[in-house]
Amino acid sequence: PLKLRISQAFSTADLGKSVKIQGWVRSVRTQKAHIFLHVNDGSSLQSLQVVAGAELNDQLLTFGSAVEVTGILKKSPHQKQAVELEAQRIHVIGECDPVDFPFKIKERHNLEYLRQFPHLRCRTNAFSSLLRIRSEATAAFHSFFKDNGFVQIHTPVITSNDCEGAGELFQVEPSSVGDAHREFFFSVPAFLTVSGQLHLEVMSGAFSRVYTFGPTFRAENSQSRRHLAEFYMVEAELGFLRSLNDLTKVMEDMFKSTTEQVLARCVEDVDLFHRHVTPGHRASVDAMLKSSFPVMSYSEAVEILGRSTENFTFPVDWGCDLKTEHEKHLVKHCGNVPVFVTDYPYRLKPFYARANQDPPQNTAAAVDLLVPGVGELCGGSLREERLDVLTAHLEDAGLEDTYDWYLDLRRFGSVPHGGFGLGFERFLQCVLGVDNIKDVIPFPRYSHSCLL
Ligand code: 4AD
Ligand code: MG
């Protein structure tokens, strides 16, 4: 027999052929003379209907069991699907006790319930759809960058720098317990990366357009719905870039092009979310794609927040960091479409941000992209390329020796440049309307939780 992935079985080209499929039973229905199974193998949302004579019934053929079915692909008399498999042989490969199995046949478990079973939730329609969408979204980002002339760089996971300077680092050392005076494994303190930006800046000095897409780590002691200790970040860096305008254009193009690709390539899976998991969200996504993203300065944002009658938990003054509640208000103010906020107070931004010459305010050429339901999706900036300004700034922070190599980038063939980072899980939350970030990553890690 021809071995098929179930997603391939629906093409009428194989009608009448003897085929073999392997997967997990999503439903069982027994009649006097027949049994009906639905089998899913993760290749798509669709399950294949298997029809068998009652003599092929088996006690072990239960919801959740793993099976291998051989039979003839037939045109189905049923309305719901075009093709069914007339079974000649059904082999239960792995049993599944339906009493102990945490998911029940025909029940739609919510994402919060599924979260309790990180090792089993991929067996449900909702979470397997999510993971196929995640896989396709990954491909969409890679194709956006490829189509736009970016070179992919594998930036290191282990690094000795704290790019963001926020002190949210996980330190890396071997687990063996040596004597107390043992040296650092790398001779210097080493950490899991919080951002590949500085390594990308190195590379933009040779390739101009570069990007990286990998895991990033932050020891944030936060139980929020949009923070993880391990998340994936898409980062891009562009050489010969002189204005934030040119940067926001790339960010907006990337958001729209990747979202459109996901919608086009994952029609059924996205539909499952937009119909059953997060009903009504599709209209919000369409509105985002149609809009041209508004841009406002931090100072304008502070004015808007100041005029608002909303009762914020955190007060708003010029100079304060914007909190999630403020970001959500600004998005609502703009009609629930993504909005760029630019030119933040200089002292709020890391050492690499380019200073605007605008006393007495003193802002930096930095930009955040805020999106509905999530708040901050991307953070980016022009980088300080002026050797004297950067040196003075690093000296103030006592960092001039640590970042001597970074200053070299400004000494040898320096060009104005800038870039941004996008939180990949937050992107999925935004496109799918998922409230909790723990539901858009296969194995979430956050404070007090590192299951599996
Ligand atoms: O704004 P952030 O901290 O920017 C940077 O790290 C820059 N160095 C990026 C760059 O310019 N190359 O992080 C970028 C994005 C945030 O906007 C947010 O979407 C996401 O990463 N992010 C997180 N996502 C999930 N969990 C966390 N703990 C996150 N922290 C940041
Ligand atoms: Mg940020």
Surface-to-core class of residue 195, CB atoms within 10 Å of its CB (0-12 exposed, 13-18 middle, 19+ buried): buried
* d(C-alpha 278, C-alpha 435), whole Å: 9
Domain count, the chain: 2
Using CA positions, which residue lies closest to atom 25 of ligand 1? 227
Predicted pLDDT at 180: 62
Report ipTM (2 d.p.). 0.99
Containing structural domain, residue 291:
121-439
- Quick one: 82 and 221 in the same domain? no
Find the 136 Cα to ligand 1 centroid distance in Å.
21
- Tally of CA atoms within 13 A in the half-sphere of 265 that contains its CB: 15
Domain-located, residue 423: yes
**C-beta separation of 90 from 59 below 8 A:** no
The CATH number given to whatever domain includes residue 275 is 3.30.930.10
- Quick one: 322 and 395 in the same domain? yes
CB-ligand 1 contact for 197 (6 Å cutoff): yes
Domain-located, residue 415: yes
Domain-located, residue 84: yes
**C-beta separation of 397 from 384 below 8 A:** no
Domain-located, residue 452: no
Find the 218 Cα to ligand 1 centroid distance in Å.
9
The CATH number given to whatever domain includes residue 9 is 2.40.50.140
Domain-located, residue 100: yes
In sequence order, the 6+-apart residues with CB closer than 8 A to the CB of 407 are 387, 390, 391, 394, 400
Reported as a single tens digit per residue, the pLDDT across 351-363 is 999 999 988 889 9
| pLDDT tens digits in sequence order for the chain, 452 residues long | 999 999 999 987 889 999 999 999 999 999 989 999 999 999 999 999 999 999 998 889 999 999 999 999 999 888 778 899 999 999 999 999 999 999 998 888 999 999 999 999 999 999 999 999 999 999 999 999 999 999 999 999 999 998 888 889 999 999 876 556 678 999 999 999 999 999 999 999 999 999 999 999 999 877 889 999 999 999 999 999 999 999 999 999 999 999 999 999 999 999 999 999 999 999 999 999 999 999 999 999 999 999 999 999 999 999 999 999 999 999 999 999 999 999 999 999 999 999 999 888 899 999 999 999 999 999 999 999 999 999 999 999 899 999 999 999 999 999 999 999 999 999 999 999 999 999 999 999 999 999 99
Full-model pTM: 0.96
Query: Which one of 233, 327, 383, 429 would you pick to mutate in the ligand 1 pocket, going by the greatest count of ligand atoms within 8 A of its CB?
Result: 233
* d(C-alpha 38, C-alpha 27), whole Å: 5
CB-ligand 1 contact for 220 (6 Å cutoff): yes
- Quick one: 140 and 28 in the same domain? no
Find the 366 Cα to ligand 1 centroid distance in Å.
13
Reported as a single tens digit per residue, the pLDDT across 377-397 is 999 999 999 999 999 999 998
- Quick one: 97 and 128 in the same domain? no
The residue from 107, 141, 163 where one domain ends is 107
In the numeric block, which tokens belong to residue 151?
């070179």
DSSP label at 94? E
